[in-house]
Amino acid sequence: MSTQTIVPAALSEITKRIQTHQAKVGIIGLGYVGLPLALLYCEQKFPVIGFDIDERKVSTLRQGGSYIYRIEAGEIQQAREQGFDATSDYSRIKEMDAIIICVPTPLNEYHEPDLSYITNTAASIAPHLRAGQIVILESTTYPGTTEEVMVPILEKGNRLGLKAARGDSSTGAEFYVAFSPEREDPGNTTVARRDIPKVVGGLNPSAAELAAALYGSIFNRVVRVSSPAAAEMTKLLENIYRCVNIALVNELKMLSLRMGLDIWEVIAAASTKPFGFHPQKNGIFAPDSSNSRARSTSTCPIS
Ligand SMILES: NC(=O)c1ccc[n+]([C@@H]2O[C@H](COP(=O)([O-])OP(=O)(O)OC[C@H]3O[C@@H](n4cnc5c(N)ncnc54)[C@H](O)[C@@H]3O)[C@@H](O)[C@H]2O)c1
């Protein structure tokens, strides 16, 4: 029996299109995460279409304008000249090779994750899915969301009866799924976005391969993990680590204020330890803050 791997036509086709920067990239959710991502793909000469349900954003982008302070209108105009378009028309999903979802995932009034933006997006994509496309979720969410929440909606709602590719074998009549968390650090001008390693977890090896190739076109380093859930958990670890440490330092800040100590002097001194200590520079109360009643955790933005 031959051990040669059979690469389905749809898979080899999309791989080639990614490698030659011809793959059509659809970014869903043109906010703080989605719009810069769309521009990164435009810079690398990929054909890009942005999808958003907010007609004002779509219209602003189509007129060459920007609504994000750190993105100049000129960058949008340059992308437009290279073919970037924005739309609220989900039927254009069928034109895409890769679909990257960057919609919000806020907490609801009970502090539970509100996944309605993800489920609504999946339901809107599903009717237009075709074999060989890859769908990647970037929204911050709990482990299991991609496989247990998003994939069933995509499978149930697509007109062709396509299934997400799982396991090692592939028939070619499937779509591919992965999760890759966003690591944007708003306001950070010291690390170029392409230098932030991109973590990727595919639902199967082919999906991981495609997602790694896609992100490898715009990021200098792609870190592959074994599953979408592992990638989702990676993002949670990073966020929780940051929140816990910001809360800790804010508690010590309040204590220091009462003791007449300067917490920034203490942080600077602790930072000289060459291992085991990582200073949190964002989210700490301002040095002159005297609001000792403020809850420290309220300064920890979750993104
Ligand atoms: N902003 C950050 O710094 C940051 C950092 C890391 C991770 N994240 C995560 O990335 C995700 C996106 O965050 P963001 O800050 O870009 O949000 P945002 O609110 O700036 O943008 C989200 C966009 O999605 C659009 N949208 C909502 N529902 C839609 C739908 N069904 N179809 C199409 N578009 C839809 C909205 O109109 C909006 O333009 C969230 O899960 C967030 O937690 C954000």
**CA distances, 79 to each of 21, 83, 85, 131 (Å):** 15, 6, 8, 28
Q: What is the pLDDT of residues 24-51, one digit of tens each?
A: 999 999 999 999 999 999 999 999 999 9
Residue 96 CA to ligand 1 centre (angstroms): 20
Residue 11 CA to ligand 1 centre (angstroms): 29
245, 280 Cβ separation under 8 angstroms: yes
Pairing, β 174-179 against β 198-202: antiparallel
Evaluate: CB of 26 within 6 angstroms of ligand 1. Answer: no
User: What ligand 1 atom has the least distance to the C-alpha of 105?
Assistant: 41
Evaluate: CB of 30 within 6 angstroms of ligand 1. Answer: yes
Is 103 among the domain residues? yes
* Choice from 30, 32, 55 to test ligand 1 binding pocket (greatest atom count within 8 A of CB): 32
Which residue, 174, 191, 226, sits at the end of a domain?
226
- Pair (19, 161) in one structural domain: yes
232, 201 Cβ separation under 8 angstroms: yes
- Pair (221, 241) in one structural domain: no
Q: What is the pLDDT of residues 86-108, one digit of tens each?
A: 999 999 999 999 999 999 999 99
Mean pLDDT of the chain: 90
Evaluate: CB of 51 within 6 angstroms of ligand 1. Answer: yes
Residue 33 CA to ligand 1 centre (angstroms): 6
Specify the pTM.
Answer: 0.91
d(CA 60, CA 166): 40
Is 34 among the domain residues? yes
- Pair (207, 242) in one structural domain: no
**CA distances, 101 to each of 13, 93, 130, 182, 228 (Å):** 22, 12, 17, 11, 14
Q: Whole domain around residue 250: which residue ranges?
A: 237-296
- Pair (270, 165) in one structural domain: no
Residue 192: CB partners within 8 Å, gap ≥ 6? none
Which residue, 205, 226, 247, sits at the end of a domain?
226
- Pair (241, 222) in one structural domain: no
140, 239 Cβ separation under 8 angstroms: yes
The structure tokens 């955790």 sit at 297
d(CA 107, CA 144): 17
Is 231 among the domain residues? no
User: With 90 as the cut, is the pLDDT of residue 3 above it?
Assistant: no
- The confidence score (pLDDT) of residue 302 equals 57
Three-state secondary-structure class, residue 202:
strand
- Pair (169, 261) in one structural domain: no
Residue nearest to atom 30 of ligand 1 (CA): 121
- Pair (189, 247) in one structural domain: no
- Pair (188, 283) in one structural domain: no
Evaluate: CB of 36 within 6 angstroms of ligand 1. Answer: no
Work out the pLDDT band at 172, boundaries 50, 70, 90. Answer: confident
CATH assignment at residue 214: 3.40.50.720
User: Own/partner pairs for 14-22, CB < 8 Å, 24+ apart?
Assistant: 14/97, 14/98, 14/132, 14/133, 14/134, 14/210, 15/209, 15/210, 15/213, 17/97, 18/97, 18/98, 18/210, 18/213, 18/214, 18/217, 19/213, 21/45, 21/46, 21/217, 22/46, 22/47
User: What ligand 1 atom has the least distance to the C-alpha of 57?
Assistant: 39
User: What ligand 1 atom has the least distance to the C-alpha of 303?
Assistant: 43
Three-state secondary-structure class, residue 155:
helix
Is 181 among the domain residues? yes
Residue nearest to atom 37 of ligand 1 (CA): 54
Is 153 among the domain residues? yes
- Pair (45, 194) in one structural domain: yes
Evaluate: CB of 149 within 6 angstroms of ligand 1. Answer: no
Query: What sign results for the dihedral spanned by CA atoms 126, 128, 131, 137?
Result: negative
Is 222 among the domain residues? yes
User: With 80 as the cut, is the pLDDT of residue 149 above it?
Assistant: yes
Residue type, 147: E
User: What ligand 1 atom has the least distance to the C-alpha of 121?
Assistant: 31
* Tokens read off for 80: 């437009």
- Pair (24, 112) in one structural domain: yes
- Pair (212, 151) in one structural domain: yes
Q: What is the pLDDT of residues 244-296, one digit of tens each?
A: 999 999 999 999 999 999 999 999 999 999 999 988 766 665 554 444 444 44
Is 77 among the domain residues? yes
- Pair (28, 113) in one structural domain: yes
d(CA 166, CA 154): 14
Which residue, 206, 226, 246, sits at the end of a domain?
226
Residue 284: Cβ within 10 Å count: 20
- The confidence score (pLDDT) of residue 9 equals 65
Evaluate: CB of 75 within 6 angstroms of ligand 1. Answer: no
Residue nearest to atom 25 of ligand 1 (CA): 29
**CA distances, 224 to each of 211, 213, 215 (Å):** 9, 11, 11
- CA distance from start to end of the chain: 50
Strands (E), 152-207: 163-164, 174-179, 198-202
Query: What sign results for the dihedral spanned by CA atoms 281, 286, 289, 292?
Result: negative
Is 42 among the domain residues? yes
Overall number of domains in the chain:
2
What are the phi and psi torsion angles at 64 (to 5°)? 80, 20
